[in-house]
């Protein structure tokens, strides 16, 4: 239960961070977006780079999480080796398998894309050429 709560909290944080980052990008590129709309760019054409960036940002967050897990397990296994000798048993934490690693990266990229989509959908509608 604790792992699910933490995962939900971190997923919400990833979406919120991506949302705010994309919002800032949209606000700094407001004039560029207005000019693009004036020359006939569709909303989906304008939206696409922001969605890609959000997915890449989520993927970078997933890679950071994977690295943190890998380093943590490496550090914890050293302490567990000493503990397992005291109890004459073998205790070892295993690293994520390939399937779990890929699902972590895909899910984090999807969360980044979702946060970006929410931000672009909300802010792009308010930008109209003057």
Least confident of 14-18, 27-31, 119-123, 126-130: 126-130
Q: Give residue-wise pLDDT tens across range 26-69.
A: 999 999 999 998 999 888 999 999 999 999 999 999 999 899 98
Give the model's pLDDT for residue 127.
81
- Give the single-character DSSP code of 125: T
Q: Residue 52 and residue 50: Cα distance in Å, rounded?
A: 5
Provide φ and ψ at 7, rounded to 5°: -65, -40
Confidence check: pLDDT of 124 > 90: no
SS3 state at 113 = helix
Per-residue pLDDT tens for 62-105? 999 899 989 988 888 887 877 777 778 887 788 889 999 999 99
What average pLDDT score do residues 10-15 get? 91
pLDDT (0 to 100) of residue 81: 78
Statement: residue 129 has pLDDT above 80 = no
Q: Choose among 1, 3, 21, 37: nearest CA to 128.
A: 37
pLDDT at position 84: 79
Q: Is the separation of the CB atoms in 14 and 112 below 8 Å?
A: yes
User: Rounded to whole angstroms, how far apart are CA atoms 68 and 76?
Assistant: 12
DSSP class per residue in 28-77: HTHHHHHHHHHTT--HHHHHHHHHHHHHHHHHHHHHHHHHHHHHHHHHHH
pLDDT for 17: 92
């Amino acid at each position: 239960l604790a792992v699910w709560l933490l995962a939900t909290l971190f997923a919400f944080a990833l979406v919120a961070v991506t949302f705010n980052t994309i919002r800032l990008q949209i606000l700094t590129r407001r004039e560029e977006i207005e000019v693009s709309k004036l020359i006939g760019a569709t909303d989906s054409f304008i939206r696409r780079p922001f969605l890609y960036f959000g997915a890449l940002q989520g993927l970078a967050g997933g890679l950071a999480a994977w690295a943190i897990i890998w380093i943590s397990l490496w550090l914890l296994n050293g302490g567990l080796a000493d503990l397992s000798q005291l109890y004459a048993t073998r205790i070892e934490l295993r690293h994520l398998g390939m399937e779990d690693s890929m699902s972590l990266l895909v899910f984090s990229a999807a969360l980044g894309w979702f946060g970006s989509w929410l931000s672009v959908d909300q802010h792009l509608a308010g930008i109209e050429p003057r």
